[in-house]
Structure 1
Amino acid sequence: YDVVSKTGGPFGTMRFPAELAHGANNGLNIAVRLLEPIKEQFPILTYADFYQLAGVVAVEVTGGPEIPFHPGREDKPEPPVEGRLPDATKGSDHLRDVFGHMGLSDQDIVALSGGHTLGRCHKERSGFEGAWTSNPLIFDNSYFKELLSGEKEDLLQLPSDKALLTDPVFRPLVEKYAADEDAFFADYTEAHLKLSELGFAEA
């Protein structure tokens, strides 16, 4: 989503080959394929709502916060232009630029980075390999704890993760979330909800 041009947003376009071909979406086709049989059971839901609901459910069933979900997104035929997602090899200025164009704050950037508590990178898709935490199937504040404890051979820290430690605004938020999981969950909920409704809340 771009807050200036009011284009892009959560409108179900990630299922289209043009968006799946974006470099930042490498491997996303697997998730889209796995979700399709479930989507077929709920034809009343738009793809746009379904994908957002899937994200909300994934966070909740892995132990994370309950994120409000508001249906009503329309499916759109045209994916956004490539280049609106963050580049993991870059630093804090890049993060602010990318997320700022979406209308998201510094707090949102750090809270959403905590979503790396789930999942892992695959070298053949991103050039990076490994999980950020020792239990990548649990949503908790361990991403921030691991970030502060330094690099470990078996865990991943992307350049964009490390940038959170060197930035004078980002680092206090990392420290806050590492010490207080409830604070992380509250801010993550707010940021996830905001992200899931970009361009939809105003529609």
Structure 2
Amino acid sequence: MICLHLFFIIKLNKCVRGRWHSAGTFDVETKTGGPFGTIRHGDELAHEANSGLDIAVGLLEPIKAQFPILTYADFYQLAGVVAVEITGGPEIPFHPGRPDKSEPPPEGRLPQATQGPAHLRDVFYRMGLCDKDIVALSGGHTLGRCHKERSGFEGPWTSNPLIFDNSYFRELLSGEKQGLIQLPTDKALLEDPTFRSFVHKYAADEDVFFEDYANAHLKLSELGCASDTLLEISLYFSFTSSFALSIIHFFVFRWP
């Protein structure tokens, strides 16, 4: 039942954004922030960049209550993994074992949509990620849309925002179109020659994008985590991404 519920929340296009905002606050130098479930707290949800995520957190809460064996930190990251896979994206390894923490990170660690390449590097390098990760993770914009009342921007990035594919990069290269959105941070990927080379690569080869996205997603979801703890606990849990996906398919396509 966990995956049946997750499917309906995925249709609200919030799980990928939620897991990103939950993890994207990590600081590799201070070892603060990261994917440790703090986004469930009101102080962090009140951050300007998290506008609207209270809806996703609220919808997930009664589902989480049915699975006390999972920490909030693991549960939010599992929701993001399942969201990508059920919408046609790559299979992403999932390793449980993240502890829940109570202290929210400082506000201002997430990317600002109005900024350019230097800002993107500042944010992602702070997490210990690289240029390839920046572009690959930006491809997550293939899902969902912006809402003006939350971000100041309105519209989807692609013509089918319920499908995870490489259309974000193809749309980016084809220029602005009526009804679709390109944020300043999206356009920044074309302004910088290193970023642009990855955009061309991913637009031309979806398999390459999927591979790089899965690797970047995994890295982001485990920032600040002790790998030995994650691997040890993953042997005990049955909540792998493949298992979660198979259960979703069972409920969605065979549900009476």
Would the TM-score normalized by the shorter structure come out above 0.5? yes
Question: How far off its partner does 1:35 sit?
Answer: 1.1
Among candidates 121, 143, 146, match of residue 121 of structure 1: 146
Q: Which amino acid letter does the alignment assign opposite residue 5 of structure 1?
A: T
Among candidates 65, 87, 101, match of residue 76 of structure 1: 101
Does 1:191 pair with 2:194? Answer: no
Unaligned residue ranges in structure 1 (runs of 5+): none
Question: How far off its partner does 1:117 sit?
Answer: 0.2
Task: For residues 84-138 of structure 1, give each alpha carbon's deviation from its aligned partner in whole angstroms, at most 9, with x where no partner exists.
Answer: 1000000000000000000000000000000000000000000000000000000
User: Which residue of 1 is the match for residue 41 of structure 2?
Assistant: 16
Question: How far off its partner does 1:36 sit?
Answer: 1.2
Question: How far off its partner does 1:153 sit?
Answer: 1.4
User: Which residue of 2 is the match for residue 54 of structure 1?
Assistant: 79
Percent of pairs with identical residues: 79
Q: Residue 169 of structure 1 aligns to a residue in which SS?
A: helix
Counterparts of 1:130 and 1:184, CA distance in 2: 23
Among candidates 28, 45, 67, match of residue 53 of structure 2: 28
Counterparts of 1:150 and 1:25, CA distance in 2: 28
Does 1:136 pair with 2:161? Answer: yes
Q: Flag the 1:178–1:201 CA change in 2: closer, same or farther, 3 A.
A: farther
User: Which residue of 2 is the match for residue 146 of structure 1?
Assistant: 171
Does 1:90 pair with 2:142? Answer: no
Q: Which has the larger radius of gyration?
A: 2
Counterparts of 2:61 and 2:95, CA distance in 1: 21
Q: Which amino acid letter does the alignment assign opposite residue 13 of structure 1?
A: T
Runs of 4+ in 1 over 2 A off after TM superposition: none
Question: Which deviates the most, 167-176 or 28-37?
Answer: 28-37
Question: How far off its partner does 1:201 sit?
Answer: 3.4
Q: Which amino acid letter does the alignment assign opposite residue 117 of structure 2?
A: S
User: Which residue of 1 is the match for residue 241 of structure 2?
Assistant: none
Q: Residue 113 of structure 2 aligns to a residue in which SS?
A: coil
Which TM-score applies when normalising by structure 1? 0.98
Aligned residues: 203
Question: How far off its partner does 1:37 sit?
Answer: 1.9
